[in-house]
Amino acid sequence: MDNVVNSKDGVIQSGKRINYIDAAKGIGIILVCIGHAVTNASSAMNSTYVGVIKFIAQFHMPLFFLLSGLVFSERYAQTPFRSTLKKIKAYYIPYVVYNMIFVILHNPLAHLGFFTDFYSLKDHLRETAMVLSMHVMSICGAMWFLRALMLIVIGYIWLGFIINKLVPDRYKEVVRGTIVILCLLLGMSPICPKVFGFDVAMYYASYFYIGILIRKYNLNRFIEKKKWVWILSGIAINLIIAVISNVGLSGRTTYKLFLLYGIGAISGSLMIIALSQYKLICNNRLLSYFGGKSLDIMSLHFATFKIVSLIIVGVYGLDIRAVSDIPVVFGVTGCWWILYTITGLTVSAGLRSGFNCVKHVLINFREERHNEK
């Protein structure tokens, strides 16, 4: 995140960070890991903690799209080609790298039970082509978010560029809002193309736009003034929806359920944003750390969950193939979800931090060698 919003005046400040945004992302990624850690059945509705899943799933992904819109800078539209390349580098490259790791290591990991099959050379080539075309491997299943976010951000860059060129200032937001609504309707339509997750991007672009509006019109001031109201109302609304409906499990929803899902998604997202602005939360270094590594945790937590799955297989004497269950070993109850959550967060973030340290050392070493010459 290279730009954030000043919570006092709504102005984008380059090169700085706002603690509450990182904290909100930290809370969000913890909820993502918990939601997957308690999904101990092939169908979420059959999981032991289905109530927890139904509550969390209403808003945990809309929250990330909303926060991404909140830090989106309209200046990207001034240099669309350069900005597009920058965003492809930021999203597509990590997407390919993370997925390719598991393509390359597929057979060794299959011996550990991560996968139930072994790849031939033809399989490796096929999966490589799938990854390069943004196909998501099951072990990286949560990376659909990265793909959708890339499409959304690039779409907003070019939308802003075209609107700035063709639309008078007084009508710009009306035109953009209308286009976003049309994209939302298209995303919920069965005729929407599903290639590259285009339908998912069209749907979640609306939450990204809500974040843009919060920043542009400094709507966060209303959240800051009555944080407890947003928190309590968010808890109440999402609890009610979780009890009366299964909408929280549906993700991209239908026209009939959109209003219910939208209310839960927005109220839950604003609840987390309000909570994250309390000093105790926004100054929490651990939350900020997880928030800063949220994309890496999103990408890797399914894989790091396998560490706990291997432990469970050993403890209960299960067939090694149980390790291949995604996201966690099916049919196992108890408090294993806590260990899954901790492992998914710490190991995933730790791997990224370790990579950054090695990269930093190599860069310094190269610079020293260059200076010596």
pLDDT tens string 12-39: 333 345 789 999 999 999 999 999 999 9
Per-residue confidence (pLDDT) for residue 5, from 0 to 100: 42
74 contacts: CB under 8 Å, gap ≥ 6: 160
The whole-chain average pLDDT of the chain stands at 90
Q: How many CB atoms lie within 10 A of CB 146?
A: 23
The whole-angstrom separation of Cα 276 and Cα 21 is: 7
* Residue 65 in this model has a pLDDT that exceeds 90: yes
End-to-end CA distance of the chain, in Å?
A: 36
Contact between residue 152 and residue 146 where contact means Cβ atoms under 8 Å apart: no
Peptide bond into 327 cis (omega under 30): yes
Q: Is 146 helix (H, G, I), strand (E, B) or coil?
A: helix
Looking at residue 78, its pLDDT comes to 94
Q: Using pLDDT thresholds of 50, 70 and 90, give the confidence band for residue 251.
A: low
Q: What is the pTM of this model?
A: 0.91
Nearest residue to 302 (alpha-carbon basis) of 356, 355, 248, 347? 347
What confidence score (pLDDT) does residue 147 get? 93
Mean pLDDT of 331-357: 94
| Cβ neighbour number for residue 107 with a 10 Å cutoff | 14
**Residues 88, 67: Cα–Cα separation, whole Å:** 19
Rounded Cα–Cα distance for residues 2 and 76 (Å):
12
> Alpha-carbon distance 240 to 263, whole Å?
11
Please answer whether residues 152 and 205 qualify as being in contact, where contact means their C-beta atoms are separated by less than 8 angstroms: yes
- C-alpha closest to that of 148 among 95, 191, 98: 95
Mean pLDDT for 202-225 is 95
- What is the Cα–Cα distance from 311 to 347, expressed in whole angstroms? 15
Across 359-365, average pLDDT: 76
Across 77-92, average pLDDT: 95
What does the angle CA 43 – CA 116 – CA 198 come to, to the nearest 5 degrees? 55
Per residue in 217-243, pLDDT tens?
999 999 999 999 999 999 999 999 999
**pLDDT value, residue 373:** 62
